[in-house]
């Protein structure tokens, strides 16, 4: 199995590791296949994600995709961040080996979960869209 240099870089030197105190949105998701867990913290001002941090208990690909996901969401509006797919995260890392693609789902789901949390706390969830993650 071959990892791109970017994957190795983000695994060895993950960006934005940690927590944000009083985060506006926090999302925690788990990968049913392996039991790995990712927690994402977002600071949101005027609909823009101004900071993002993460904690991931998981494999190298999960750490690298968390790291890249926090880099990608920073400076984005909520709408833009919701459009970030696991494929986009993997592409930003110059790809993942096919057997590790499922690991990138955590990053996409963690972004969504953190944004959902923000919306829920601020009464911004459209009626009926509440998902009990």
Residues making contact with ligand FES (CB under 6 A): 31, 33-34, 36, 58-59, 61-62, 100, 102-103, 106
H or E element that contains 50: strand 48-57
> Minimum distance between the CB of residue 4 and ligand FES, rounded to whole angstroms?
16
Q: Which residues are catalytic?
A: 34, 103
> Minimum distance between the CB of residue 77 and ligand FES, rounded to whole angstroms?
27
Measured CA distances, 77 to 73, 80, 97, 117 (Å): 8, 5, 30, 15
Of 73, 15, 69, the closest CA to residue 43 belongs to 73
> Minimum distance between the CB of residue 125 and ligand FES, rounded to whole angstroms?
27
- Residue 23 vs 61, nearer CB to ligand FES: 61
């Amino acid at each position: 199995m071959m990892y791109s240099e970017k994957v190795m870089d983000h695994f060895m030197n993950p960006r934005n590791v940690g927590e944000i105190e009083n985060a506006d949105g926090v999302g925690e998701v788990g990968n049913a296949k392996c039991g790995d867990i990712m927690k994402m913290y977002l600071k949101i001002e005027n609909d823009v994600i101004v900071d993002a941090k993460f904690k991931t208990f998981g494999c190298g690909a999960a750490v690298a995709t968390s790291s890249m996901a926090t880099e990608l969401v920073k400076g984005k509006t909520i709408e833009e961040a919701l459009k970030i797919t696991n494929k986009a995260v993997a592409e930003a890392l110059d790809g993942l080996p096919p057997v590790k693609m499922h690991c990138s789902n955590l990053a996409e789901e963690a972004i969504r979960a953190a944004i959902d949390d923000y919306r829920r706390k601020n009464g911004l969830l459209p009626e009926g869209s509440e998902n009990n993650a």
